[in-house]
Structure 1
Amino acid sequence: MKRGRLGLLALVVSQAVWAAEPPAPTFTAEANLVRVDFEVLGREGQPVGPLRAEHLVVKDDGVRQEVAALTEGQGPLDLVLLFDISGSMENAVEQVAATAEVAFRELREGDRVAVMTFEERSTLLLRLTPDLERVTRTVRERVLAGRFEGGTALLAGVDDAARYLMSTGRGAGRRAVVIITDNQGLRSRKEGAVVNRLWEADAALHGLVTASRGRTVMQWYLRITAPYVMFLEEGIGGAVAKTGGVVVAAKNAEEGFPELIRRIRTRPALYYRMPAGPEGKFRKIDVELSAAGRKAFPRAKIYARRGYRIPGAETAVASAEELLAEIDIEEEMEEEVEEEEEEEWDIVLQAVTEPEEEEEAVEVGPPPPPPPLPPM
């Protein structure tokens, strides 16, 4: 794989963009660019804009970089729908299936969607396809037709979705994983390893989290009375934050799903030239509002990806070999799809081993305090 994957794009930007300096700049094919999908939210949690380059400050490993261009909702989108099919999720999945057609109206020509499920194992039901009717049919006829039971290997499911995206090759489009879950899982992967994998896949993790009041109260109670139980659990919050994603928390997934798809499709991205560095090194990204940005959008907050890996021939080949060795399904699946329209495959989580020495993702501080006890 050539230098230029993982969101470090060698491309010509000739679309209508929000430019750092008018008129919009044109970048030659030799220019290596880092693309950072982000979102700026106001006090009420709503996206704000319009944004200009002077509203933003971006740093790469602590060194300020010039914003080369800004776009909004530009380029094709590859989206993996990752469904939690543990016992408590059937109603939420039914609601998502009911609104799939409405949500997919937010997508555009060239966008592709894949469908995966997970509990203790991860299963790919449908590879990336632009056929949204087929996606809707897969959710209704295959996800809902399955059994909702078993444990929840939450981060393992996210990791497998990132591995799948990496196995499909790399283009100039954007990538995202949308996980539909109640955000309760047992420890199955190291968060840092999963975040690094998402960075390598150039994918943001977004969550549609369904929650009942009863479970919120129980979580608060367990944090006080049985913290060891909470220690054994894992959630998606850290991975979402470090990849620049968003979480939509909704008691009714029927309302939250179309809103989340719309926000993913229309969110902005900034570009800057990639500084020189050793191939394979993980680098930290910081995106902040400038003084002008804080004045234009007081008390707004930025949500952006916080790192990437410098690409190179050696690291790209090694990653591809690792994916093929661990998943061991890509070629077989291509043959099966030609003969049989849809054939699911399983990723056996027990067969996936973590490297002995794996770089941890950048630490971003302690988790937020537990929520206050709701009034009885």
Structure 2
Amino acid sequence: MSSRAAFQAEFTRRALIPILLIASHFPARAQDPETDETIRIRTDLVTIPVVVTDGRGRRVTGLTREDFVINEDGRAVSVDYFAAGAERVAFVFALDASGSVRDSITHQREAALALFSRFGRNSRVAVMQFRERPELITTFTTDAAQVRSGFLFPALPDRRTAIFDAALAAVRLFAANGDPKERRIVILISDGLDNASRSTARDVIAEAIARQVSIYIIHLPLYTPRDGRLAPRAPSKGFRQIAEQTGGQYFMVGDAQTALDPHAELDLAPVFRAIADDLQSQYMLGYYAAEQNADGSFHRIEVRLRRSKRWRVYALRTGYMKHGSK
């Protein structure tokens, strides 16, 4: 070894000795999950879709986070999340494929797509058709072409119609633990005459409330002679209630004159616009539930306005049950 190389080796050895001596006084720190800084993502956000109406039943817009008070089990909680209007929407179109309304629905594809496109890239949509049993035609997608094809009906003979079974299946397309900030909507288009369901309207309402799904009904009634004139046939019991009791709305489209005209084409575009406006007039509130609430019991939620007593608040969720992880 040259004298220069020997000098560099000796210099390096001498320089390292103080560093090693200092390091020896500090014990090595093992990774400790209790002391290491970790990033926690909270997944216990409880969301409540809310509608506010004035004394005439009209939707009230323009409210802010500070206007609302949330109580859980009688105790006030902070409003941790607030959104005016619908930022994220998932639609399920449940389409009656029976012969009585099949042709009318087929012509509504573009109007339905206009509703879908109004909510932008944050929306997704699925299409279901039903006769005696429901059939999922298009799974949740953002592809307008797939949605359009879901409004085409095969030429099949008329059979019995199971509306409530289809509504229940549509509600169950939404996962019980999905995105809490997403508004979940079923748009059911039918003549309202159920003669095959095993499920009841009560079953549909309970499941929709549990999964925070609102059902909007577009009723295309059949007409029958009554007292010398044509009158709409009454829908099956509970048909209208599955909309009114889940935070949606009920629309009846058509009249006796269009029922007599074989060439009449219904225009559902105004109804779809009304649904979009209704969603945009709603509010989404949220708060983070306490960890000790994951006890499997039911926790009641109440929402009220901080000031105005003239307006009514309709919370589309009245409580929740949460189980702790094992």
Shift of 1:246: 2.6
1:152 corresponds to 2:155: no
Structure 1 residues 205 and 106: CA distance shift in structure 2, 3 A: same
Contact 1:117 1:124 (8 Å CA) reproduced: yes
Pairwise CA distance, 1:46: 4.3
- With over 3 angstroms needed to count, the CA separation of the structure-2 counterparts of 1:90 and 1:105, relative to structure 1, is same
How far residue 159 of structure 1 moved from its aligned partner, in angstroms, is: 1.1
Alignment CA distance shift 1:278-1:171 (3 Å): closer
Partner of 1:162: 171
2:230 maps to 1:189: no
Residues in 2 aligned to 1:280 and 1:109: alpha-carbon distance in whole angstroms? 36
Describe the SS at the equivalent of 1:71: strand
Pick one of 296, 307, 310 that aligns with 2:318.
307
Is 2:123 the counterpart of 1:102? no
1:218–1:107 distance in 2 versus 1, CA, 3 Å: closer
Does the 8 A contact of 2:91 with 2:186 survive in 1? yes
Bigger CA radius of gyration: 2
- Which runs of 4 or more aligned residues in structure 1 lie more than 6 Å from their structure 2 counterparts after TM superposition? none
Distance 1:173 1:109 in 2: 15
Displacement of 1:114 after TM fit?
A: 0.4
Residue 293, structure 1, aligned to residue 303, structure 2: no
Q: Deviations over 1:230-262 (max 9, x none)?
A: 8xx333443334432233343352321232134
CA distance in 2: counterparts of 1:41 and 1:110, whole angstroms: 27
Which shows bigger deviation, 187-196 or 77-86?
A: 187-196
The corresponding residue for 2:216 is 206
* Equivalent residue number for residue 180 of structure 1: 189
1:214 deviates by: 5.8
CA distance in 2, matches of 1:281, 1:241: 27
Q: What's the TM-score, normalizing by structure 2?
A: 0.67
Equivalences, count: 268
Aligned counterpart, 2:279: 264
CA distance in 2, matches of 1:91, 1:43: 40
Q: Contact conserved, 2:85 with 2:282, CA < 8 A, in 1?
A: yes
Corresponding residue for 2:93?
81
Give, in whole Å, the separation in 1 of the partners of 2:180 and 2:100. 37
| Contact map agreement 1:245 1:304 (CA 8 A) in 2 | no
- Provide the C-alpha distance between the structure 2 equivalents of 1:257 and 1:38, rounded to a whole number of angstroms: 20
Match for 2:141: what amino acid? T
The structure 2 residue matched to 1:128, chosen from 114, 136, 140, is: 140
- Which residue in the other structure is 1:20 paired with? none
* Letter paired with 2:198: S
Task: Please state if 1:240 is matched with 2:230.
Answer: no
Deviation string, structure 1 residues 143-167 (Cα, Å, up to 9, x no partner): x344473333222111111222228
2:118 is aligned with what amino acid?
E
TM-aligned CA deviation for residue 118 of structure 1 = 1.6
Question: Which residue of structure 2 lines up, in the alignment, with residue 51 of structure 1?
Answer: 63
Q: Give the aligned residue type for 1:110.
A: N
1:288 Cα offset (Å): 4.3
Which amino acid in 1 is paired with 2:242? A
Do the aligned partners of residues 214 and 164 (structure 1) sit closer, same or farther apart at CA in structure 2, a change above 3 Å counting? same
Structure 1 residues 313 and 178, CA, compared in 2 at 3 Å: closer, same or farther?
farther
- Aligned partners of 1:95 and 1:253 also within 8 Å: no
Which residue identity is paired with 1:171?
D
**Amino acid in structure 1 at the alignment position of 2:171:** A
Q: Deviations over 1:9-37 (max 9, x none)?
A: xxxxxxxxxxxxxxxxxxx8437321111
**CA distance in 1 between partners of 2:252 and 2:50 (Å):** 19
- The 1:304–1:132 alpha-carbon spacing in structure 2 relative to 1, beyond 3 Å, is farther
1:362 corresponds to which residue?
A: none
The aligned residue for residue 32 of structure 1 is 44
Query: Aligned equivalents of 1:210 and 1:117: distance in 2?
Result: 15
Q: Is the 8 A contact 2:48 2:285 kept in 1?
A: yes
Distance 1:67 1:121 in 2: 42
Q: What secondary structure does 2:61 align onto? A: coil
Quickly say closer, same or farther: Cα 1:177–1:146, change in 2 above 3 A.
farther
Distance of 1:151 and 1:281 partners within structure 2: 41
2:269 is aligned to 254
| Bigger mean CA offset, 38-47 vs 116-125 | 38-47
Instruction: Label 1:311 to 1:98 Cα distance change in 2 as closer, same or farther (>3 A).
Output: same
CA distance in 2, matches of 1:268, 1:196: 22
Counterpart for residue 127 of structure 2:
115
Structure number having the greater helix percentage? 1
TM-score (norm 1): 0.59
- 1:61-97 per-residue CA deviation (whole Å, 9 max, x = no partner) reads 5555443442123543221111122333224413422
Q: Which runs of 5+ in 2 are unaligned?
A: 1-39, 255-266
